[in-house]
């Protein structure tokens, strides 16, 4: 997909999370989910970070009264490289896999890939693993701060005309690096 920068990808993630919570059987409170983008991740397309509830077990719902909200909070991270390489449907599958982990975290304070997870993945038609992603052909760099703000696997409007775009970090034009 063509996201101009990490902020645009985070916006898409937040939107898709609210949509999955509203329109599918996923039992997730979007207010307890944060979204992040990794510009370094090269293998894992998505991940879910949280603070495990001590003694928590998948399938055993703890008494959340008086417990720290911290253990129900989770951050879903997508790899910028995966976002650039996958089409929207594939990327949504990756996000929904991570949201299934969030569902367990919000219910039990912990998550894994055990039988309950696999059952839930089958019921919600969410894949258990995600496809690999390749190295990008182009790197997009902010001409203001020199940060890498995006990657592309093929030519697209951003690559053709980088100076027509403005980055979220510096409101500066993009520069394209050919990495092939």
Note the residues at the interface with Zn ion (CB under 5 A). 142, 144-145, 167, 169-170
CB of 31 to Zn ion, least distance (A): 22
Nearest to 130 by CA among 26, 48, 35, 45: 45
CB of 97 to Zn ion, least distance (A): 5
Pick between residue 64 and residue 124 the one whose CB is nearest to Zn ion: 124
CB of 66 to Zn ion, least distance (A): 29
CB of 65 to Zn ion, least distance (A): 29
Pick between residue 34 and residue 93 the one whose CB is nearest to Zn ion: 93
Give the position of tokens 């603070």.
51
Pick between residue 116 and residue 170 the one whose CB is nearest to Zn ion: 170
Pick between residue 11 and residue 64 the one whose CB is nearest to Zn ion: 11
Report which secondary-structure segment, H or E, holds 151: strand 148-152
State how far the Cα of 110 lies from the Cα of 101, in Å rounded to an integer.
Answer: 8
Angle subtended at Cα 28 by Cα 22 and Cα 32, rounded to the nearest 5 degrees: 115
- Report whether 28 contacts 20 (CB < 8 A): yes
């Amino acid at each position: 997909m063509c996201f101009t920068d990490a902020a645009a990808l985070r916006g898409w993630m937040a939107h898709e999370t609210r949509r999955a919570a509203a329109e599918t059987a996923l039992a997730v409170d979007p207010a307890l989910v944060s979204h992040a983008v990794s510009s370094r991740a090269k293998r894992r397309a998505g991940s879910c970070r949280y603070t495990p509830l001590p003694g928590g077990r998948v399938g055993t719902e703890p008494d959340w009264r008086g417990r720290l909200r911290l253990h129900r909070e989770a951050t879903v991270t997508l790899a910028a490289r995966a976002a650039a390489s996958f089409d929207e449907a594939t990327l949504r599958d990756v996000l929904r896999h991570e949201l299934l982990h969030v569902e367990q975290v919000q219910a039990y304070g912990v998550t894994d890939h055990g039988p309950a997870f696999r059952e839930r993945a089958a019921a919600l038609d969410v894949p258990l693993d995600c496809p690999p992603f390749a190295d990008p052909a182009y790197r997009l760099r902010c001409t203001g701060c020199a940060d890498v703000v995006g990657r592309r696997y093929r030519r697209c409007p951003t690559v053709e005309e980088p100076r027509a775009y403005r980055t979220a970090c510096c409101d500066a034009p993009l520069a394209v690096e050919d990495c092939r």
